Amino acid sequence: MTPTSLADWLSYIESQHPSEIELGLERGNKVLAKLGLKRPKHKVITVAGTNGKGSTCAMLTQYLVSQGYSVGTYTSPHFLHFNERIALNNQPCEDALICQAFELIEQLRADIPLTYFEFSTLAALWVFDQSELDYWVLEVGLGGRLDSVNMVDADVAVVTSIALDHVDWLGDDIDVIACEKTGIAREGKLLVSGVVTPPKGIADTAADIGAVLKQKGVDFQFSAKQKTWSWQNDEHQYDDLPIPSLPLQNAATVVAVLTYMGLEPKASDLAALFASAELTGRFQKVSQQPDVYIDVAHNPEAAIELQQRLAAFDTQPIAVCGMLHDKDIASVVSILANSFSTWHCTDLAGPRGAKAQELVTHLTPLEVSARCYSSMASALISATEQARQEGRSLVVFGSFVTVSDYLQFAKGKNDL
């Protein structure tokens, strides 16, 4: 029976491949060729990196839309609704159009097995093609070279950061990971690297491909004061830009992308962008009394970014933390251990979810106050009560799953 609702389609495509992840372009390219899609009117911008992909895509999209361009943005994962992954001019795509895409892909794929992410990527590309857009902004799911987003040749490739993550898939060598992520670049096309202290693999891979490489710290620089920051390269200078709520490193990369693309952004437009840009789950304040912040920080690099933000708090906040067991739990909790007065650790469901006790095992030698809970709801109820009694903020972090669980809990409260 052919699925009819989006929920039915998602259940169906989850069952169509034995592996959740299987890197490679051959399967998707066969179906993509049958779809016969056109390219956007202007450019395809593909974004890879260990951290910062989502915020970079969000800022690029917001700027382009503000300038009157039509933009399709593909990101992952989603928090509450699958439609978040496929956005048209910053608005989630409607169910009916996604279902139409899935139905066509199902017809064309015949006996070609597709993963959930391959189905999703092909659906996004078809939706964008049907919408006749100016720009496509595509976020790589895992790695770069063999990720299904790389089925489409990028006019502009962006690498936001490089760190050890997903070592089971990408390896434990930083130069190898750099090569994989830089593999989204194309000959003669722009490649912008926002990587601080870039591994040699970026320049080597760019040279092998023949991409036009522009690197942070080499071709462009930025510097920050207390409340403003500046960006410069050989031809452009932007001063007194507002510090964004999203990571400044990524904002600097976005300016580079826009500038080297030849869009000549005005300082006033960049100031408006950075004064307003935000993204779900990126150090986002979502509630008051007590103040609640949510952050998807799940690896050491992101933990350092979170630590720096928490250092500005007048009073140590309380943590609600859940993580996936295939992440570097020991490093994350070590970096953040002393940033919180108390840790409320929760189990995460699913085969990748770590138990709260695993987090506490790493925290105990650090002499940190930590408690275990079997669910996000129980952790939040206890942590919120403590935060109110002690006049502290609450920070919910550790994974996209953790933030999603919080949003589900908050939504349920609002529905009562």
- Same domain, yes or no: 182 and 307: no
231 bridge partner residues: 222, 238
Q: What is the pLDDT of residue 20?
A: 58
Residue 29: inside a domain: yes
Contact in structure between 205 and 181 (CB atoms under 8 Å): no
Neighbours of 215 (CB within 10 A): 18
Give the residue among 355, 293, 292, 301 at the shortest CA–CA distance from 323.
355
Cβ-based burial of 42 (10 A; exposed 0-12, middle 13-18, buried ≥19): middle
- Same domain, yes or no: 236 and 291: no
More confident residue, 240 or 18: 240
pLDDT (tens digit per residue) in 244-281? 999 999 999 999 999 999 999 999 999 999 999 999 99
Q: Which of 243, 259, 276 is the last residue of a domain?
A: 276
Q: Supply the DSSP symbol for 305.
A: H
Q: Which of 223, 252, 276 is the last residue of a domain?
A: 276
User: What residue numbers bound the domain in which 203 lies?
Assistant: 6-276
Calpha distance 355→409 (Å, rounded): 19
- Same domain, yes or no: 248 and 298: no
Q: Which of 228, 247, 276 is the last residue of a domain?
A: 276
Contact in structure between 58 and 279 (CB atoms under 8 Å): yes
Residue 296 has pLDDT above 80, yes or no: yes
Calpha distance 132→122 (Å, rounded): 16
Residue 415 has pLDDT above 90, yes or no: no
Q: How confident is the model at residue 163 (pLDDT cuts 50, 70, 90)?
A: confident
How many independent structural domains does the chain possess?
Answer: 2
Q: Are strands 91-92 and 86-88 parallel, antiparallel or unpaired?
A: antiparallel
The residue assigned the tokens 């760019």 is 206
